[in-house]
Amino acid sequence: MEWPKSNDVIGTVNRGNPAESGLCTLCRSDCKGRCETWLSSLKGRKILYPRDFGFVTAGSANTCHLGVCYNSLRIQGYNYGVSGLPAGLSSSADDCIFPNVNIEGSFGNEVKTKFRLPIMTGALGSTFIAAKYWDSFATGAALVGIPIVIGENVVGIDKEAVINNGKISKAPELDRRIETFLKYYDGYGAIIVQMNVEDTRNGVAEYVINKYGDKAIIELKWGQGAKDIGGEIQVDSLDYALFLKERGYVVDPDPAKPEVQEAFRHGAVKSFARHSRLGYTDMSSVEKVSESFMESVAHLRRLGYKRISLKTGSYGMEALAMAIKYATDAKLDLLTVDGSGGGTGMSPWNMMETWGVPSILLHSKTIEYASILAAKGDKVVDIALAGGLAREDHIFKALALGAPYTKLVCMGRAAMIPGFLGSNIEGVLKPERKAKVNGNWDELPISVREIGASTEELFAGYYDLQKKVGADEMKNIPYGAIAMWTLADKLAAGLQQLMAGARRFDLSQISRGDVFSANRETERETKIPFITDVLDESAKKILNS
């Protein structure tokens, strides 16, 4: 299946080969535009509509659906009724307008975590691109009011961190990431700190709870949708590679070998890949994994954690069932299920292309398995779905497919694009900040100049954000965070419009009946009925009455 590189109606073009999400398969931080997410980070909700109003008409090209994917779900619309109206509103057409749709919600078992928009970031961990643009990502997430995840290995790769026998006494990069978010945190969203095997050994959980208490959610990690081995980064320094090996990481090729060092000095080896370890390699049965997992959760509870989450990848059905069952039994606050099709900073390319279960198939089984637990009377863990999701229609479809268990949609690469774009603009307009914000441009490209030349002109969300933080504080807001606010406004408005069309005025009202399958294969795999079968009996009753 191939996806078009351009959309003439909204004026977007992909620089590289597009994925189903609408993002390029290779997304560059220095990109000069102009995919839908990139352009939405500047123009905001204007990108919901066809361009050049008054000169054009527009027609959909998306009427033929092939294969099983999110593109093969379509959104149901109704022509009467309404549900989920916020308090104080009536069913009058004057009240039932899309800006009145409530897209705020919460997740959690005993302690509820609120959000203003039902999205969260993917795990932004030890990849250097996550570190370079963190100020924009974290500030933007806090201002928008959505959860952001600090990914694995942040402490382990930090040269300034001090770790002795699994006890962290200093972790400046982790501190920077948490405190950047907390600076603008206003009760919506959350900072989630993820742990893998190395993080557990290094005492990340103990450090975070001792310093930040219940301000952070701790997340156990089983895997992700982009790879089935531990996380990787690439370093081009022999000294740094040796440092990482001494920290206990797997480094490939081995920088301690004399022949590798010689190859590096002569340029034959130019970089090293740092790998994390697989979990549960010493376990040989489902029962042993269950026992180990429950003990891990119990340990975190003893440390004082009130909110705990789990991230699992696109493993097969057994692992998926384990994740849902154990997260439910352990009364976790969130389970993120990440299907293949998700992105990453560095995964082996052919592994990312060929391993694991594609998102919509994994998500469909997630809901089937959750329903089995619910039928037994269990309070199923709140779920976030991830894996190649980027637009407002993706949010609606994932929430509908996963209803009533899915509370959030996890967006990885899409949530990073506004950080890149805003930082590049900031580096041009404020050249004294270019190095600090990791700007890549020397001048504004044509794709940006045609929108404007100043911050106030370029970002459609500028004055909305200024209203929230105040004119004086705007000078401290990274431009990448302004872009993230602008993109979030577009996603929010688009989601509100889709929900209003489905007559759902609250997130809790979205159901599986609000989508239908565009082909029989999708119907079989998702258990979502085929388009012309939905309400067909009701239609025939009308005709025969």
d(CA 173, CA 154): 7
Classify 262 as helix, strand or coil.
helix
Q: Please state, in angstroms and as integers, the Cα–Cα distance from residue 213 to each residue in 103, 115, 218, following that order.
A: 29, 20, 11
> How crowded is residue 96: how many other Cβ atoms within 10 Å of its Cβ?
17
- Give the whole-angstrom CA distance, residue 34 versus residue 438: 20
| pLDDT at position 227 | 87
Residue 213, Cβ density class (10 Å: 0-12 exposed, 13-18 middle, ≥19 buried): exposed
Question: How many whole angstroms separate alpha carbon 471 and alpha carbon 485?
Answer: 16
What pLDDT is stored for residue 106 in this prediction? Answer: 98
Check if the beta carbon of residue 432 is closer than 8 Å to that of residue 150. Answer: no
Residues 6+ apart with CB under 8 A from 532: none
Query: Pairing state of beta strands 334-338 and 383-386?
Result: parallel
From residue 453, alpha-carbon distances to 430, 443, 477 in Å are 12, 11, 18
**Whose structure tokens read 């900073």?**
345
Going residue by residue through the chain, which has 545 residues, state the pLDDT in tens, using 9 for 90 and above.
678 899 999 999 999 999 989 999 999 999 998 999 999 999 999 999 999 888 887 888 877 788 999 999 999 999 999 999 999 999 999 999 999 999 999 999 999 999 999 999 999 998 899 999 999 999 999 999 999 999 999 999 999 999 998 899 999 999 999 999 999 999 999 999 999 999 999 999 999 999 999 999 999 999 999 888 877 889 999 999 999 999 989 999 999 999 999 999 999 999 999 988 999 999 999 999 999 999 999 999 999 999 999 999 999 999 999 999 999 999 999 999 999 987 777 888 888 889 999 999 999 999 999 999 999 999 999 999 999 999 999 999 999 999 999 999 999 999 999 999 999 999 999 999 999 999 999 999 999 999 999 999 999 999 999 999 999 999 999 999 999 999 999 999 999 999 999 999 999 999 999 999 999 999 999 999 999 999 999 999 999 99
Report residue 416: phi and psi, to 5°. Answer: -90, -25
- Residue 64 pLDDT: 77
CB count in 10 Å sphere of residue 95: 14
* Residues across the chain: 545
Cα 253 from Cα 245, distance rounded (Å): 11
